[in-house]
Amino acid sequence: MSLRVAVAAPFIQNGTRRLQENEFVVALSLDRDWFSPDQSKRLIDVATQDGLLERTDDALEATFDPGEVTVPDEFVPDEELLQERSAFERVLDALVAEGMEKHEAVGAINQLQEELGLTIETAAVVYAQREGVDVSDLVPVAREALADAEAEGR
């Protein structure tokens, strides 16, 4: 997953799992020339939302082991990484990362959504959990989507 690679790069470069936010931004914008400083800050927000980074009082911490990530020499992240992804997209990425074919996962989630009358986000979370894929961080998002749909009478 390229988001994980882009996030891991500054930590690998500095040989740590904890960086000051400005060190992270400098690594992505000046050292690697992948993003502008503002885009690098946006990447922090997206990676935090996805659970790859955690903000502490004074730093950013990787929630995964950056040392287990390989940054290919020719790797350049796409600006699409800077866009927020829906809970459905995030669950789908987790399923694909576990080896499931994307089209199979989408089909199964759509079928579950139809059978149970759920929102797509809720169906995705339920399906992932049934498949043994940990998406527990997205359960609150799915609950909120379900509550919103109920409130709107869908």
Yes or no: say if 126 and 116 are a contact pair by the CB < 8 Å rule.
Answer: yes
DSSP 54: E
According to the model, what pLDDT value does residue 89 have? 84
pTM for this structure?
A: 0.64
d(CA 132, CA 117): 22
The tens-digit pLDDT sequence of the chain (154 residues) is 588 899 999 999 999 999 999 999 999 999 999 999 999 999 999 898 888 899 998 899 999 999 999 999 899 998 888 877 788 888 888 888 888 999 999 999 999 999 998 888 899 999 999 999 988 878 887 777 777 777 776 5
Q: What are the structural domains of the chain?
A: 2-82 (1.10.10), 87-153 (no CATH)
